[in-house]
Amino acid sequence: MSRRKPSRTAKASIVYFAPASTKDGRGPYRAVETLFRKVVRKETIGKGDYVAIKLHFGEAGNVRYLRPTLIRRVADLVKQAGGLPFATDTVTLYRHNRHTLFAHLETAADHGFTRETLDCPVLIADCLRSSGVEVPVADPLELGTCVVAQAIYDADVLINVAHLTLHPEFPVGAAMKNMGMGCVTREMKLRLHGKTVHPEFDVTKCVLCGNCVRMCPGNAFTLKRRKVYFDENLCVSCADCFSWCEGGALQIPWGAESKTVQRRTCDAVRGVLSTFAPEKVVHFVIAMDITPGCDCFGHSDLPIVPDLGLFASTDPVALDTAVLDAMQAAPGYPASRVDGTKGGKAGGDKIAEIWPALDIEAYRGILTQAAVGNLRYNLKQV
């Protein structure tokens, strides 16, 4: 494991903040432009640059995902700067309503993310067969390579727009998770989450759909005498079989410890960032509808704190640290899962109430080791 040490002289990174309150007459919609002007410089977007606006379209059944109007505003500002924007996300490892290109596009459209509403293309970054480019990760914490989704890899600029939530494997699902898990292929997601990189095959659940035999690039599945056989020695760990199995015979080998997932995700972030010039990446976190579970959940609980506002920075670690601190400082949302608890008080530990197994300080240490940003930040309200 890498033994990086934080610099004691590192200057605090700037994080800009616009409150959700509309007392000043602006509100979140107008705040998008204010924050955009702060973090997007002249050198960030060149004329004709392909600009990936990475967001989460929300799982089917979830009603507290990002608002399309805010993403439309980002796209409009990109075009004003001379760029060619597209809204994008990647297919999921698990099988639900975003596990294939077609299912993901249908869910995105159901949630209001279309070419017509955003006035820019909506692309699934890893395409039909979860396509991507494997890049090296120098001095990794866990993983020496990262498979970056094709459209993310091909883009000139990355605008990382995350929706702040809690997450069962992270203290917060924000800028780091939106990049590390959201900009990579299904194959990479298996590496991030799995205790192994091979599927678990339960032949008793096989319905002989034949999709695994037809789709496997390693020919790890064979059909003989109306029975499917799996040879993990031939498995290439692409993870595509999960999305095509109709009987649920192929199970994801979940089980990696949260700290392991966090370290691996930091490596993935470093891999993604390595494909862009430093000045070509900016980050936003929309701290509204802050739910106890991430947007991958197919349901929506009440927010745990009132809407905070919008945050932006060129430093994803400082940004995530700032939104974590702001969330913890806020009072609990009435009737939410933290209401009436010790953690639900202003300054209380909301994460400990919802996901008690997570260690916030250990996560801060992992972010320091990953060396992709600065834990120290200077919050500037705009």
Q: How far apart are CA 370 and CA 179, in angstroms?
A: 14
Q: Are residues 126 and 61 in the same domain?
A: yes
State which H helix or E strand residue 222 sits in. Answer: strand 221-223
Q: In this structure, are 243 and 98 located in the same domain? A: no
Predicted confidence at residue 23, as pLDDT, reads: 77
Q: Are residues 133 and 214 in the same domain?
A: no
Least confidently predicted of 32-46, 239-253, 360-374: 239-253
Query: Does a structural domain hold residue 173?
Result: yes
3-17, 33-47, 94-108, range with the lowest pLDDT = 3-17
Res. 205: pLDDT tops 80: yes
Write the CB contacts of 11 (distance below 8 Å, at least 6 apart in sequence): 374, 376
Query: Residue 2's pLDDT is what?
Result: 41
The CATH code of the domain that includes 227 is 3.30.70.20
Q: Regarding predicted confidence, which is higher, 26 or 125?
A: 125
Q: How many domains does the chain have?
A: 2
Query: Is position 8 within any domain?
Result: no
Tens-digit pLDDT profile for residues 315-329: 999 999 999 999 999
Question: Domain ends where: 228, 251, 274?
Answer: 251
Does 27 have pLDDT greater than 70? yes
Per-residue pLDDT at 123 exceeds 70: yes
Q: Look at residue 8 in the predicted model and tell me its pLDDT.
A: 45
Q: Is 261 strand, coil or helix?
A: helix
Domain annotation covers residue 6: no
What 3-state class would DSSP assign to 83?
coil
H-run or E-run covering 69: helix 68-80
The secondary structure element, H or E, covering residue 265 is helix 258-273
82 vs 333: CA distance, rounded Å: 41
Provide the mean pLDDT of the chain. 94
Do 216 and 67 share a domain, yes or no? no
Same domain, 178 and 29: yes
Containing domain of residue 205, as a range?
200-251
* Domain identity same for 29 and 97: yes
* Average pLDDT, integer, range 238-248: 90
Q: Are residues 188 and 303 in the same domain?
A: yes
pLDDT score recorded for residue 42 = 95
pLDDT at site 3: 43
Within-domain flag for 2: no
Rounded to a whole number of angstroms, the CA Rg of the chain reads: 21
Establish if 7 belongs to a structural domain: no
Report strand pairing: 200-201 vs 250-251: antiparallel
- Answer whether residue 240 shows pLDDT above 70: yes
Q: CA-to-CA distance for 296 and 205, rounded, in angstroms?
A: 25
Instruction: Give how far Cα 280 sits from Cα of 45, 50, 155, Å.
Output: 7, 11, 10
- Of 251, 266, 282, which one is at a domain's C-terminal end? 251
User: For 138-177, how does the pLDDT look when each residue is reduced to its tens digit (9 = 90+)?
Assistant: 999 999 999 999 999 999 999 999 999 999 999 999 999 9
Give the pLDDT of residue 22: 78
Mean pLDDT of 105-112: 98
Going by pLDDT thresholds of 50, 70 and 90, the confidence category of residue 128 is confident
Contacts by 93-96, CB closer than 8 A, 24 or more apart: 93/186, 93/189, 93/190, 93/193, 93/239, 93/242, 93/252, 94/242, 94/252, 94/296, 95/242, 95/243, 95/245, 95/248, 96/59, 96/60, 96/298
Q: Can you state the angle between helices 258-273 and 186-193, rounded to 10 degrees?
A: 140
Domain shared by 114 and 230, yes or no: no
Residue 86 neighbours by CB under 8 Å, 6+ apart? 50, 51, 52, 53, 120, 121, 122, 123, 151, 155
Confidence of residue 21 (pLDDT cuts 50, 70, 90): confident
pLDDT of 1 strictly over 80? no
pLDDT at 153: 98
- Whether 368 is covered by a domain: the verdict is yes
Query: Would you say residue 7 has pLDDT above 70?
Result: no
What pLDDT digit, counting tens, does each position of 277-297 carry? 999 999 999 999 999 999 999
pLDDT of amino acid 184: 98
121 within some domain: yes
For residue 348, tell me if it sits in a domain. yes
Boundary-marking domain end, from 251, 266, 283: 251
Residue 252's pLDDT is 92
pTM above 0.85, yes or no: yes
Same-domain pairing of 164 and 242: no
**pLDDT of 232 above 50:** yes
> CA-to-CA distance for 177 and 269, rounded, in angstroms?
8
pLDDT (tens digit, 9 = 90+) per residue, 166-192? 999 999 999 999 999 999 999 999 999
Residue 66 pLDDT > 80, yes or no?
yes
Looking at residue 262, its amino acid is Q
**Same domain, yes or no, for 143 and 222?**
no
- Confidence band, pLDDT 50/70/90 cuts, at residue 203: very high
pLDDT at 6 over 80: no
pLDDT, mean of residues 91-96: 92
- Same domain? 237 vs 162: no
Residues in the chain: 382
The reported pLDDT for the residue numbered 26 is 79
Do 273 and 370 share a domain, yes or no?
yes
